[in-house]
Structure 1
């Protein structure tokens, strides 16, 4: 799958019940597992032990999970629950009627210093035939392969002209950009509704400031 060497193949089916039985999850999330997921397969393990890659500092293993769906509208809370239960970085390949979406989260160790991880958000491709997924194993370490998968899937969202920018910095910049875009949209809506000219002028001044900040990003 996606051109990974045979040494990485795992091909183990994971009962979906493992992700919601005996766990404190909401009835709504359990319903997502039951109704949306047909099956989950642990397809590959990318690590120094299964490839000729150098061991990663932040990413010790990168697991490839194939989640076969009953619906073409995946729920990110489903992936977040799986990510929460597996203490490794994960590349999700979602399958529906022979087409695939690649999903990956920016996953990093929690500040608590435990084995816990937090996922800031997910990036994903459109539905594509498997051989058209924009995924290539690039890099000399597991860290770099993971970073390149994130950037390949995110596409323009994490595109940067600064070659020295780390993945963490790219993600933080992207999140800041999204936040500014939301603020701009909210302010533009307020300006359209505002009847008083002086308040419109004040908000327009703030709008220009936000747009300038967005241009810098």
Structure 2
């Protein structure tokens, strides 16, 4: 899967009942997961002995989990729950019919877009599994690392930027539709303030 070395392949089914029993899930959580997830399979295990890359200080190994979904508009909280319960770094391959998206939890759930399953591949780049894992997070998140930022800092900056851009787009749409001059002016001022904040954030990150 994902073009990873054959030495890492496992293809081991992980029954949902086993997960429920091991982590003592309540009925409500079980029902939510059952509504979204059909099957969980451990597709690959990445370890130093299997790929000849040394363990890192934070990451000694990680799994690739193939998750077959029952619906495309799944509840993201179910994937977050799995990532928090299983005490291991996990790269999820979320599959629905002939499409997939990659997902990874690193301070928040990061996902790719949907596309045909066979088009996805992952490159293991780095001299240790710490670096390999960080590069996978960067690839899945489509992150452009800005100078001086740690991975966590970059994710936080991107999130702030996305929230500002979303709010600006919403207010611009409201201002365009607003007929009262006073209200239109107020909305335009709010947009101006947010654009200034967005510009300041960008300049701060560049310096």
Which TM bucket (shorter chain)?
0.7 to 0.9
SS of 2:109's equivalent? strand
Alignment match, 1:133? 120
Superposition RMSD in Å: 2.6
Which residue of the partner structure matches residue 146 of structure 1?
A: 133
Q: Give the equivalent residue in structure 2 for 1:7.
A: 7
Q: Where in structure 1 are there 5+ consecutive unaligned residues?
A: 107-118
Name 2:168's counterpart in structure 1: 184
CA distance in structure 2 between the partners assigned to 1:17 and 1:73 by the alignment:
23
- Counting only pairs closer than 5 Å after superposition, residues 15-34 of structure 1 correspond to structure 2 as 15-21=15-21, 23-25=24-26, 27=28, 29-34=29-34
Residue 69 in structure 1 maps to residue 57 in structure 2: no
Segments of 5+ residues of structure 2 without an aligned counterpart are 203-207
3-state SS of the aligned residue for 2:122? coil
> Greater helix percent: which structure?
2
Q: Which runs of structure 2 are paired with 1:162-201 in the superposition (5 Å)? A: 162-188=146-172, 191=175, 193=178, 195=180, 197=182, 200-201=184-185
Deviation at 1:200, TM superposition (A): 4.8
Structure 1 residue 189: Cα displacement:
5.7
Q: Which moved more, 1:32-41 or 1:14-23?
A: 14-23
Aligned to 1:45: 45
Determine helix, strand or coil for the equivalent of 2:82: helix
**What is the TM-score normalised by the length of structure 1?**
0.77
Q: Cα distance, 1:64 vs. partner? A: 0.4
Following TM superposition, where does structure 1 have runs of at least 4 consecutive aligned residues deviating by more than 6 angstroms?
none
1:174: how far off?
A: 0.9
Aligned length: 199
Q: Deviations over 1:65-118 (max 9, x none)?
A: 011122233321121111111122110012222432211121xxxxxxxxxxxx
| Alpha-carbon distance change, 170 to 23 in structure 1, aligned in 2, over 3 angstroms | same
Q: CA deviation at 1:204?
A: 3.1
CA distance in 1, matches of 2:189, 2:99: 47
For residues 106-140 of structure 1, the C-alpha deviation after alignment (integer angstroms, 9 at most, x for no partner) is: 1xxxxxxxxxxxx423222313232x115222222
Offset of 1:201 from its aligned partner? Answer: 4.0
